């Protein structure tokens, strides 16, 4: 599913984009500096921003393999660890957009990917393979 027209509040995008992520204007992805962003904005909003950026990149066909996700999403290993730690605290059900983007990319069984904390476990397992 490709994204042709994405609405983003540009003032929010400008604040978050300084820490990397999906650029709808340039159709490119800059590695996320999650730890620095979480310090600046709080891990809750930055976790959602990171998830949305990754989902947009997957939908746009930018990330097509698990290996590309590993090598391109986070600026440093510490950023990945901070993201997984923040994500593990989300006990909510995955929203539909995130479910489809990440289940396709991670090649997950539907039963193993129901909540955001499940997604954190999948990310940690996936990253430990590389």
Tens-place pLDDT, residues 89-113:
988 899 999 999 998 888 777 788 8
* Residue 3, in any domain of the structure: no
Q: Are 124 and 84 in contact (CB under 8 A)?
A: yes
**How crowded is the C-beta side of 115, counted as CA atoms within 13 Å?**
9
| Of 56, 60, 47, 69, nearest in space to 97 by CA | 56
In a domain, 5, yes or no: no
Q: Which residue has the higher pLDDT, 40 or 66?
A: 40
> What average pLDDT does range 50-66 have in this prediction?
90
Find the domain containing 108 and state its range.
10-128
Query: CA angle, 71 as apex, 122 and 35 as ends, to 5°?
Result: 75
How many domains, in total, are found in the chain?
A: 1
* pLDDT given at position 13: 61
The pLDDT tens digits of the residues spanning 5-53 come to 445 555 556 677 889 999 888 889 999 999 998 888 877 888 988 999 9
Tell me the whole-structure pTM to 2 decimals.
Answer: 0.83
């Amino acid at each position: 599913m490709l994204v042709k027209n994405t609405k983003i509040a540009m003032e929010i995008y400008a604040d978050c984009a300084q820490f990397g992520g999906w650029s709808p204007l340039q159709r490119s992805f800059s590695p996320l500096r999650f730890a620095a962003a979480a310090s600046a904005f709080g891990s809750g909003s930055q976790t959602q921003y990171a998830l949305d950026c990754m989902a947009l990149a997957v939908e746009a066909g930018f990330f097509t393999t698990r290996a590309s996700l590993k090598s391109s999403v986070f600026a440093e290993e510490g950023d990945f660890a901070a993201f997984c730690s923040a994500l593990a605290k989300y006990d909510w059900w995955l929203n539909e957009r995130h479910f489809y983007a990440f289940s396709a990319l991670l090649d997950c069984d539907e039963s193993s990917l129901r909540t955001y904390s499940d997604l954190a476990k999948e990310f940690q397992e996936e990253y430990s393979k590389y």
